[in-house]
Structure 1
């Protein structure tokens, strides 16, 4: 695998200008705690919120097109597509740009989050399909990787977790050095910050997009907890310790901005759910964040406004998406705006 300087590829930060947002319509009944009806209502609300700021292309099974059109109210371009479910952050491509600013995309392998869910063949083909629709050069990734497992600052630094990327159900043949070489060669990365693990109850087993993210180079958002009895207190303390002793690709120490943690919620089986305000979408001119019908929603919105002062903060109900095991960042995939050709 060639290094970043040789490949010329770079993954832009999520706050770089977007051409559009890619999403997919929920269609796996067993993947949603309260069924497809509430899931589709919740996802449609996210579509409508993002579409105020940038185009949305929504991939929908042919038999669901009428319902999707009704619920999204014309907010998105609908494309008939065979799907397994709606998590385009993980099943779609990772968009990158070459030295000339032209668009390409990494088609990573996908195996149902380390074989958590069976029946993922259609989603494993989704990245290639999206790249064809976007008319972007397709680059086959050399490993299993979901988009929610990485976050970049656009200047050569990447956040991830050891729990996810070193998962033996994903890439048992690769060690940390192999994975870092892949990230370097394909995403323009010079420094990988390995946080130990993701939030308790996260079905992805370690995705960083529920735990920590950049809001500008050298600056990260991290949830805070005061209750030492909470199972995530140690998770967040470990993450903070790593961030405090790390530097980014430019040699900068990290500034940590704390987000509140939503109130704890358990599902019908009594299992703790991984709710997080970190799981938001950066749109052109806006932050679309999940709300959890809690007093902490207002504080989270205030923190995000401080982090992104030039963007409108839009709060969309988050419980309906969380019922599927993720949230707004997980169901979205931004396509960066390419430089003009020529």
Structure 2
């Protein structure tokens, strides 16, 4: 078999795959505002310059379920559909989290392959009909071959530099609710076989109250070879301040697959963000998406103080990522479903 290469997110994309909030019983009062936020995400990816519609970003493929969802998507996404930059596909989606339910695209030599891993509803917490069948549906629609792997892995649990290194957390991938008895050594061997990974950088825990059990795309991300971003506590009441400091220290002491030490860039966290019931929610600026021509950063500015954190975080991320067009988009209502913008996107490399 040809050598397997797991491209970085900043490499050129043929398209991005996502989904449209479709389940009224899951979203309830948050359905309409979540759709507004998702529509803004798609526009920032497909039409990155709000002042010049002629500047094309990347093609967006959107899965949806049912007539009501199609009607709302057609109405809200019409400009992108008419411009040929966004395409709708009927599919039996349970929900919108394509980073986890969809395939992970890799290159086997010059051939693009969609890698399908097991999916069990984030450790059995949220089992929705047909979510475990989305990967082959996307692979077929993307005209790629499907590679099957017999262990559970969500795309949000790993992040790559495109040069053979990934970040992950022990809390998630070694959790008995995914693959009972999984060890670090076994996981590293599986990553080498499935994704061509030469080095795994291990972090411990993710965010408080994150039902994904510590997905790394909420706490630390590569933005260039040898360069990672993570978050610093915002305020003494930041519920994740100890975890953030542990993550920073682990990254500062790590080396990638080439043997170099990582450059670590810290950005402010969103701070203490509460939902309508007063519970702490796992809000994160790290759940950004790097598109061909834009960077889309989720923000959760519920106060002047948190707006200040968000503005500084977006400025630092813009410098670190280096995209011409930078969009800070409210993701408060998407977060009520359990994730944010990176969680609902899966790039298809060119």
Question: 1:317 and 1:311 mapped to 2: Cα distance?
Answer: 20
Measure how far apart 1:35 and its partner are. Answer: 2.9
Measure how far apart 1:30 and its partner are. Answer: 5.0
Instruction: Describe the shift of the 1:33–1:211 C-alpha distance in structure 2 as closer, same or farther (beyond 3 A).
Output: farther
Equivalent residues, number: 330
Correspondence 1:333 to 2:349:
no
Question: 2:281 and 2:25 mapped to 1: Cα distance?
Answer: 16
Measure how far apart 1:226 and its partner are. Answer: 5.4
Q: How does 1:207-222 map to 2 (within 5 A)?
A: 207-222=215-230
In the alignment, which residue of structure 2 is the partner of 1:108? 117
Correspondence 1:77 to 2:70:
no
Instruction: Describe the shift of the 1:33–1:148 C-alpha distance in structure 2 as closer, same or farther (beyond 3 A).
Output: farther
Correspondence 1:308 to 2:313:
no
In the alignment, which residue of structure 1 is the partner of 2:190? 182
In the alignment, which residue of structure 2 is the partner of 1:225? 233
Structure 1 SS opposite 2:249: helix
With normalisation by structure 1, the TM-score equals 0.92
Aligned residues: CA RMSD:
1.6
With normalisation by structure 2, the TM-score equals 0.90
Correspondence 1:94 to 2:107:
no
Measure how far apart 1:7 and its partner are. Answer: 5.3
Instruction: Describe the shift of the 1:97–1:89 C-alpha distance in structure 2 as closer, same or farther (beyond 3 A).
Output: same
| 1:59 paired residue among 60, 63, 77 | 63
Question: 1:226 and 1:331 mapped to 2: Cα distance?
Answer: 26
Measure how far apart 1:227 and its partner are. Answer: 4.2
| 1:321 paired residue among 334, 338, 341 | 334
Structure 2 SS opposite 1:121: coil
Mean CA deviation greater in 257-266 or 23-32:
23-32
In the alignment, which residue of structure 1 is the partner of 2:256? 248
Q: Residue deviations 1:169-220, cap 9 Å, x none?
A: 1111432222111111111111001100111121211100010000101110
Instruction: Describe the shift of the 1:57–1:24 C-alpha distance in structure 2 as closer, same or farther (beyond 3 A).
Output: same
Structure 2, unaligned stretches of length 5 or more?
A: 48-56, 81-85, 302-306
Correspondence 1:117 to 2:122:
no
Correspondence 1:40 to 2:61:
no
Mean CA deviation greater in 135-144 or 31-40:
31-40
Instruction: Describe the shift of the 1:89–1:22 C-alpha distance in structure 2 as closer, same or farther (beyond 3 A).
Output: same
